[in-house]
Amino acid sequence: MHIRDHHQRAIDRLADAYRDDPEFLGLIIGGSVAKGYARDDSDVDFMIIANDASFAERLAARDLFINRSDLCDYEGGYVDGKIINLSFLDDVAQRGNEPSRAAFQGTFAAFSHIDNLDSLLESIPVYPESGHKERIKAFYSMAFIQHWLFNEAARHGNRYTMTRAASQLTLFAGRLILAHNRRLFPYHKWLVRALADAPRKPAEFMDRFNALLEAPSAENSTALFECVRDYENWGVSDLDAYTWFMTDVEWAWMSDNAPIEDW
């Protein structure tokens, strides 16, 4: 991974600013700089690990962010960080959802007073095999329902519902492809990049994904859904998809389940 010189200087100054502060136990560099996606003007995202007493005080005071421009020597540059504690890292490693895990892809410690922090960071951005089949069913079912909903909305000229259904269809068709590749959903900002990098997908997938976003139409909706539907036997019938949507989305409030968008 290549880090631009001005980003590295900002990281070095950030580490120097907090390395000897007894409040903090470690500094983790993340975001676009750690992932290798940074532009010249990108900020430096980080997480800084506070000791438990300090974290409790900051949490009570809602003082959990550090944002500084004085550590950067490039135009518009700043460092932007969240204050966490070690228990947060353990929790993400044990039960974090996909976006929370994906946030740690490429991360590294700029300084650490914690034994085995590097191995803990490596254990977080791992695709969770548990529940894989359930996620495949859920994402396919959501794509199926959103395709149906788009066409219903188009038939009635309901532009709001068409727009939302197009967004949801691209999201869950994309999440289906990522799950098929056993790759983490990196949240919305990096979804397109993650899909472009996924090796196992229909040859025309990205073209049809982008076409629906650029020109929401029944034709483009059907083209995207059908290319995903026909790519693999997902093991979900139309009735399965309708039933799943009713019981697991419309009735999710009955079981206090997390909304599928938060998986």
Give residue 256's pLDDT: 81
Q: Which residue segments constitute the domains of the chain, with CATH numbers given?
A: 5-123 (3.30.460.10), 132-262 (no CATH)
Provide the edge-to-edge strand list for the sheet that holds 24-30: 65-68, 79-84, 44-50, 24-30, 108-112
What is 79-133 written as a DSSP string? EEEEEE-HHHHHHHHHH--HHHHHTTTT-EEEEE-STTHHHHHHHSS----TTHH
CB 52 within 8 A of CB 117: no
Position of tokens 């560099």?
A: 29
Number of alpha carbons in the 13 Å side-chain half-sphere of residue 163: 3
Looking at residue 172, its pLDDT comes to: 98
At 13 the pLDDT is 98
- How many Å apart are CA 220 and CA 231, to the nearest integer? 17
pLDDT at 261: 80
User: What does R_g of the chain's alpha carbons equal in angstroms?
Assistant: 21
Top pLDDT among 107 and 262 is at: 107
Q: In the prediction, which pLDDT does 177 show?
A: 98
- In terms of DSSP bridges, do strands 44-50 and 79-84 run parallel, antiparallel, or are they unpaired? parallel
User: Could you report the per-residue pLDDT of 188-199, keeping only the tens digit for each?
Assistant: 999 999 999 999
pLDDT at 1 over 80: no
- Residues 102-155 have pLDDT tens digits of 999 999 999 999 999 999 999 999 999 999 999 999 999 999 999 999 999 999
